[in-house]
Structure 1
Amino acid sequence: MRGTGLSRREAATSVGVHVTTSKEWDAGIRKTGDRRYYPDGRVVDYKQGVTTYNPVEGSSFMAPFPGLAALEKPISDRYLSLSEREQIRDLLAVDSSMRAIARALGRPVSTVSREIRRNTGPNGYQPYAAHRAAAKRRPRPKTSKLSCEGTLRKYVGAKLLLGWSPEQISNRLRKMLPDRLEFHVCAETIYQALYFQARGGLKREVATALRTGRTRRKPRTDPEKRTSRFRDPMINISERPAEIEDRAVPGHWEGDLITGTLNQSAIATLVERTTRFVMLVHLDGDHTAATVRDGLIKSMGGLPELLRGSLTWDQGAEMATHKAFSMATDMDVYFCDPASPWQRGSNENTNGLLRQYFPKGTDLGVHGPEELERVARLLNGRPRKTLGWDTPTERLRELLLAA
């Protein structure tokens, strides 16, 4: 279905699975019971709270070994890589000394001697066998500090119930008891005690412990790997010209929606960056991409060319048809980074002022175009400190007369 052009959500709905499941399928992740199997060989058991690896195919030894992709991928400069272990084998074959091998690798002599001592078998030093053995030893599973009853567990539980975050608890313990290492616990240990039963002891408190109230971890996507929300390519705010950034040239706008009860109604807000002039766009009935597009085209299309420079918006779904808006108005649309409202500072400030007239939790659909025009006139008639106590209307009038 994805191959025929359907979106992930549409395909997931058609086969009756959750969209999260479809994302895991796309990533090559398979789930059986409480376990998830990853393409690189990892096996994550969420019930037990441990991560292991698939056995090496064809091996009679069934201990958990990493898959080939995980085996060859360098983990950190701290650890010897597979290529370094191959180099050790080659240098040993020509009777190089430990110091010579260490110089060739750029490693301490102790690292080389320990590696050879640990991983030399009946057939001599074999790099692949050594690498697998090192990967097997690396997890070093141990009992969590919070898995047993005691003073530390009681303290952590009590502070969680007071609304403290795991990070606050961890750092507070280090500050109060700098020399008592047995009471030092990192924030990740507390999170695992809450989320993973086998690492736990704090499961009973999870419903009220964290401020979010979540009982499971929320997966996060690397912003660099984030999939574009729109079919048409977005122009990121980082590509916005400097003349827009420093407000030197008029005609560049910031926009957003303010929404009413349960996001059922909305008003589009527009602020000109140089003059702080405000326009409010009436959205009749809904705030879908098509409705927002038509409302913006109607409002911006009537402006003189001097005031039709660009529009900066967040990555809300209401701007899915931004390409059609650009073609109709000859205005570029720049998109802010996710969760970065400060990149539209003038608009965010204006939205806060508008809540005096359109309070949160109310139905914004009851306000018609005439009411929106009245509120816009009130805001545009207020003197602004940033404008030297001029009003946005006065600044806009000067701009148009000068043109």
Structure 2
Amino acid sequence: MDKTYLGRRLAEFSPGIASQPITKVELLDENGDVVGVSGSDTGRTLTALQPDGTNAMAASILTKVSGYKHIGYEGSEALLDPAVELGDAVTVDGLYVPLIALDTTFDPMLAPDISAPDADEIDDEYPYKSPTQRQIVRNMAKTRSLITKTSKEIMLKVEDIDGKYTEVKTTLDGLTVTDASGTTKINGSSIKTENLYVDAANIKGTLTADKIQASSISVGDLKDGSSYATKSYVDSNAGLNANEVDNAIATYIDSTSITARKLRGQTVELLANSNTKVGELSLVETTVDYGIGIKTIYGGIKLESATNVYLKASGAYGGFITLSNNIVSLGGGELYIGSQMYGDNLPAGNWGKLFFLRSVR
């Protein structure tokens, strides 16, 4: 930029309104982040691209430009050297101003009109972006990515202009993934996160949880070949016929009951409520082998059938009793009451026993 002293060698000169003075300097890197700053926000800020800038460098620049003001002006018929160019500066009437507009009329004097808009008009009527501003716009209009590597960690970060980001970091403690929704930590033996979403999970081992919440829980093809489903699954498949339900769904569980073709175990306890046990069905040892025991702690035992009652003892010498139509029928042998037969006289003092007299004809 050349400098020219013009003085009053022009027909007319009208200075404009001076801008606020420069009171602050900012140095930016290629992403638009501030790397060096000095001064206050009371006036205008001078911004420059300097990736290696520091606060000390910004302070040094501020000492040279502090207080500088831009003044717009209009001048006519200035007696200038024809070699002057836009961007050069002139001193006129004690003011040092740049040549922003130059209107030359090729007459005998060759005296051009010169001018520079006020600071506000520059931004409104002459939109111009410096290399620094253009570089920042290019970087901020796209997704930013950053990779750092130290002796303790390797970090990858991707961030867009809206501030959304994902950061992946690996250290000796494992892998950490962070975004706006939270943080997940992964190492060789565990995954720690606030919420884990999976479309499907195949677990070989033990699943342990303090609480499981689900709209439905379905388990099929267990080790023993059985199949289980929730009551809601059965209800939603009501179109199946009875055989299809039996074949496809062996067991279902709802909030108050368990329905299954087989329940396996040694003891079934019967409860009147959560704290009162009334009786139990259990596996017991008899004189010949293990058998089934029916035991009550309160009350008695009541057997009631809607139709016939059939009791049968299997084996070579077994028999059966059938209760039907108000008749007790015996099968498999004679009826013996007591351990022996008595003669013509009944034993005395044996209340509550049934005896048969032998009749001789």
User: When the two structures are superposed, what TM-score results if normalisation uses the length of structure 1?
Assistant: 0.14
Larger Rg: 2
Higher strand content, 1 or 2: 2
